[in-house]
Every structure is written in C-alpha cells, then in structure tokens.
Amino acid sequence: MLKTEMRNPRTTHLDRMTTAEMLRVIQDENMNAVRAVDGCLDAVGRAVDTATACLRKGGRLVYVGAGTSGRLGVLDASEACPTFGVPEGTIVGVMAGGVEALHRAGEPEEDSSEFGVRDLKAIGLAPADCVVGISAAGGAEYVLAAVEYAKSLGCATVGLTCNEGSPLAQLAGIAIVTDTGAEVVTGSTRMKAGTAHKLVLNMLSTCSMAHLGNVYENMMVNLKPTNAKLRERMVGIVADMRKVGRDEARTLLERAGWSIKGTLNGEMK
C-alpha cells in the first residue's frame, strides 16, 4: 500500500481529540513534511540545475499536476512574474481540468492520459522545456502521460512525489521523493504531502531565478511598479542597497525609469 494512503496510528482517534490535541498532532506532522524535504535536497539540487540550464537556453519551467498537486504548481508559476519580473510564460502551471479546476474538484481529468498530452501540446511544449510532474501518490495518469510525452520530445523531466518506487518516480529523469508518510486524515494529501511539495516548488523557482540574475544579494531587483505596494517596496530596496533615504531612492528610481537594476550603477554582474 502507498504510504500516502496508509492510516496514521497517531490520529486514529482524531474525532475524539480536543482542539488543542488536534492542533498539536497536525503541527507535529507538519514538521515531518519539513524533514521529508530535508532528506531529498540532493535531488532538488539536480532539478534546480537542470531547470536553470533549460531556462538559460530559452526554455520554460513547466509544472504539470492534478488536484492539489496541480494547484500548487499553478500557484508557484503565477507568482514568478510579480516576484522575479520575468516574462509571462517563463514558468508555466498546467493542471488537469484547467482553470476551472482551481476552485472545484476535477478528479475525472486526473485519470485521463489523453488530456495530459493534449494540455502540453496546447502550450506548445518544446524540447528546451523542463517539465516537472507533480503527484503525491505518484500514479496520476494525467501526470504520467504528460511526463512521458515530454520525454518523447527530449525535454528534461522531474517527478515530484511522496512515494518511493511509484510510477512517476520511475518515469522521470530526476525523482524528488518527499517521504511524508501517512496523513493526519487518511489519504488527504492536501495536508503534509502538499506542504512538502510547496516547499520544493519554492526552492525550484527561487533558486533557478536567483541563478539567472533575477535576485541581487537577497533582493527582488526585477520588480515592476504595477501598484502602490510594489512601488513602495522598490523604494525600500533601493534605499537599502544604495544607503540613501527614501526620497532620494524614489528620485533614483524615477531617473532610471523605475528599474531597480538601473539604480545600481552597473554593480550587478
């Protein structure tokens, strides 16, 4: 039996716990999610380096998933542009059931190999792209078919799962297995399995973007002044990096056309 489908012996009496007891056991299991990621950092590192190489060559980082896994991929992809200032489509999230499945269950689509291939064809998947299949159990047909199709094109492939030896772990070029074990609520992988996968996706996008020069020191230097909050954040970043007051930082940004990098006098490599 898959570990993600097993009953957790620590929560067999969840329905009789007090609120405090429930919170304690859930938080203890959350810590197991963090430890699970710690155990596969080598594989995450290989995935980061692979994704970075693809992005450098003009390829994309493409997340493919179903259910919670798909939603996490779409979430990470959607935040790449505002965080790192990269063009739309640099990191892409594809999920079974499409946009509609972001706010409703889309279980039937998860079982469709045809849709997995169709949806990657729809985004014009190319050999330079890096495809990350995400499936907690590691057996979603939608994801497996998508990864198989990506491999047939010559794409680099990564499998993110919670079960060692699962079909996805065996299929992908790089397997990232976050062994989170049995969930607090049996089979509910939106919990610590999802937490572990969100942590890994944070690493994949952040590290690859940093390698590509979209982070200076630990600052978001590609921000765009699309709203008041971001403009104020940009002012704060320039004030910190140039060691000036906020008024002077704002003036520097205005002179540079609201480009943080433009205020750095060539300090970025």
Take residue 87 and report the two structure tokens written for it: 């063009």
In a domain, 41, yes or no: yes
79, 100, 141, 217: which is the annotated catalytic residue? Answer: 79
- Tell me the residue type at 96: A
* Residue 268 confidence class, pLDDT cut points 50, 70, 90: low
Q: How many CB atoms lie within 10 A of CB 193?
A: 28
pLDDT of residue 107: 64
Question: Active-site residue 110, yes or no?
Answer: yes
* Residue 177 confidence class, pLDDT cut points 50, 70, 90: very high
pTM of the full structure: 0.92
- Position 106 pLDDT exceeds 70: no
The pLDDT of 20-39, averaged and rounded, is 96
Q: Which residues lie across from 236 on neighbouring strands?
A: none
CA distance 229 to 82: 12
> Residues 156, 248: one domain?
no
Give the CA distances from residue 37 to residues 177, 182, 190, in Å, rounded to whole numbers and listed in that order: 8, 15, 16
The domain total for the chain is: 2
* Residue 269 confidence class, pLDDT cut points 50, 70, 90: very low
Of 28-42, 119-133, 147-161, 220-234, where does mean pLDDT reach its minimum?
220-234
Collapsing DSSP to helix, strand or coil, 69 comes out as helix
pLDDT of residue 111: 67
> Residues 174, 229: one domain?
no
Collapsing DSSP to helix, strand or coil, 130 comes out as strand
> Residues 168, 254: one domain?
no
Residue range of the domain that includes 226: 215-263
CA distance 5 to 240: 49
Q: How many CB atoms lie within 10 A of CB 68?
A: 20
> Residues 186, 240: one domain?
no
> Residues 164, 200: one domain?
yes
Kind and range of the H or E run holding 82: helix 80-84
- Position 2 pLDDT exceeds 90: no
Residue reference for tokens 């190319």: 126
Kind and range of the H or E run holding 63: strand 61-65
> Residues 34, 157: one domain?
yes
In a domain, 2, yes or no: no
* Residue 82 confidence class, pLDDT cut points 50, 70, 90: confident
Check if the beta carbon of residue 150 is closer than 8 Å to that of residue 59: no
88, 100, 107, 110: which is the annotated catalytic residue? Answer: 110
- Position 266 pLDDT exceeds 70: no
Question: Active-site residue 79, yes or no?
Answer: yes
CA distance 75 to 39: 24
> Residues 153, 251: one domain?
no
